[in-house]
Amino acid sequence: MADPVIITVAPTGPLTTRKQHPGVPLSPTEIAEAVAESAEAGAAVAHVHARDEHGKPTADPAVYAAIAEEIRARCDIVVQASTGVGLAVPWEERLKIISSGEVDVTMATLNPAWMTFADGTFSNPPEFVQQLAEAMHEHDIHPELEVYDVGHLSLCRELVDQGLIRQPLQFSFVMGVRGGMPGDPALLPLLRSMLPEGSVWQAIGIVRSQLPLSFAALAMGGNIRVGFEDNVYFEKGALAESNAQFVRRAVELVGTAGREPATPDDVRKRLGVR
């Protein structure tokens, strides 16, 4: 429980639209400005998705590189690229975010399994997972292992056994997505018990499960993620003012739990990343 709490901000996501919230950042500059404001509020990691000029999800390495560059020009937050991108983007394109070598990020997500996601299919076939893990290893990018169901943990362990993922391991329990685990805090003790010793983990609650899972994760020594990717409502019926507003509340929750928010340097030291 002594470790500082890593607060991650996910400002855009692949699915959130301007119809859902007019302030969703879409361009590299807008994303960087939202991230910088969130960093000032207390976020230590930025989980970023890229959008094209029409606001659609894109895996274009040039756009991801521009986002990372814009963020680094404004703040010292740890930049994490999402390789999930969007359900309609082929995995061959998503792989290029990492394999191209063009995107200068510290971390990136690795989803270990093909699954139903809401009304679509999240395509993560074994050959993609293997190639993505190899590319992250080659380019010294630390994986964040995204777990949407209990069985995904064993697939992550296989990558570790193959020597493709170095320790300390970092896991995200994504909960509340149709097709994956429900957003039930009662599942967290089981999930945590299945992690290799020394693993870093966070709970990601979608929409109404965000706050309950944040409370539970903090009580169990875990970390939390907030932002427009997961939820645009700050309270029932009221849109959040900004991603930073979510971060400020997360900082308050961390303090209430008797813990301290991590700095970007805390994250780098804890995960052994640059």
pLDDT score of 134: 97
Share of the chain above pLDDT 90, in %: 98
pTM reported for the whole predicted model: 0.97
What is the phi/psi pair of residue 127, to 5°?
A: -65, -35
Cα(235)–Cα(231) distance, integer angstroms:
10
pLDDT at 14 over 80: yes
What is the phi/psi pair of residue 87, to 5°?
A: -65, -25
Name the band, by pLDDT with cuts 50, 70 and 90, for residue 3.
Answer: very high
* Residue labelled with tokens 């979608």: 206
Cross-strand pairs, 201: 171
Name the band, by pLDDT with cuts 50, 70 and 90, for residue 181.
Answer: very high
pLDDT at 255 over 70: yes
Averaged pLDDT for residues 61-79:
98
Q: Which of 266, 174, 262, 256 is nearest to 219 (CA)?
A: 256
* Residue labelled with tokens 């089981």: 190
Return all residues near 199 (Cβ < 8 A) that are at least 6 apart.
168, 169, 170, 171
Which top CATH class is 7-271? alpha beta
Q: What is the DSSP letter of 135?
A: H
pLDDT at 111 over 60: yes
Cα(211)–Cα(220) distance, integer angstroms:
14
* Residue labelled with tokens 């320790």: 167
Instruction: Name the strand (E) or helix (H) holding 146.
Output: strand 142-147
pLDDT score of 165: 92
pLDDT score of 1: 53
Averaged pLDDT for residues 57-71:
98
User: What's the burial of 272, exposed, middle or buried (CB within 10 Å: 0-12/13-18/19+)?
Assistant: exposed
Cross-strand pairs, 109: 144
Averaged pLDDT for residues 44-62:
98
User: What's the burial of 88, exposed, middle or buried (CB within 10 Å: 0-12/13-18/19+)?
Assistant: exposed
Q: What is the overall mean pLDDT for the chain?
A: 96
Are 8 and 267 within 8 A, CB to CB?
A: no
pLDDT score of 269: 96
Name the band, by pLDDT with cuts 50, 70 and 90, for residue 2.
Answer: confident
Name the band, by pLDDT with cuts 50, 70 and 90, for residue 274.
Answer: confident
